[in-house]
């Protein structure tokens, strides 16, 4: 493992340890929501405007690029979109309990017209850790 990557991961872990709140309970999947506010731009540069809602008391860590998965609906099944060529930063954002935020998410330039959903994994930064996953309702890319 590259020493810089290791040191960054160690620094993120140290910051997250300081973010842990005492007494908060771990969220369940229904307490974390991803809402697509708009889909804009041509297919080759489509961007989503998202609202992330944390209705739990726990702080959540996330990185939409590194912990987001784009699924496409084909023949009634969700297929994972290959995003292996995407470069992501190691930035960890923290959303406090009972808070919401807006984020932009750019779809890959190879995104074809169709029905999609975005699935994001969140790390629970308080309440003893763990993970929770949330997904958007299906949205259409023209």
Buried b (16+ CB within 10 A) or exposed e, 7-40: eeeeeeeeebeeeeeeebebbeeebbbbebeeee
Is the model's pLDDT at 69 over the cut of 60? Answer: yes
Is the model's pLDDT at 1 over the cut of 60? Answer: no
User: Both ends of the chain: CA-CA distance in Å?
Assistant: 41
The model carries a pTM of 0.78
> Please, what are the domains in the chain?
33-81+88-141 (2.60.40)
Is the model's pLDDT at 36 over the cut of 50? Answer: yes
Q: Which of 25-29, 96-100, 106-110 has the highest mean pLDDT?
A: 96-100
DSSP 8-state symbol, 23: S
């Amino acid at each position: 493992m590259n020493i810089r990557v290791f040191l960054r991961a160690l620094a993120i872990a140290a910051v997250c340890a300081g973010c842990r709140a005492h007494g908060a309970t771990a969220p369940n999947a229904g307490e974390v929501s991803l809402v697509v506010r708009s889909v804009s731009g041509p297919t080759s540069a489509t961007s989503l405007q998202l609202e992330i809602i944390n209705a739990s008391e726990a702080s959540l860590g996330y990185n939409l690029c590194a912990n987001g998965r784009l699924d496409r609906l084909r023949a009634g099944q969700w297929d994972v979109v290959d995003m292996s060529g995407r470069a992501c930063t190691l930035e960890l954002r923290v959303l406090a309990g009972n808070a919401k935020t807006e984020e932009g998410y750019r779809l890959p330039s190879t995104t074809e017209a169709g029905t999609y959903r975005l699935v994001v994994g969140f790390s629970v930064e308080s309440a003893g850790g763990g993970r929770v996953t949330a997904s958007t309702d299906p949205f259409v890319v023209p």
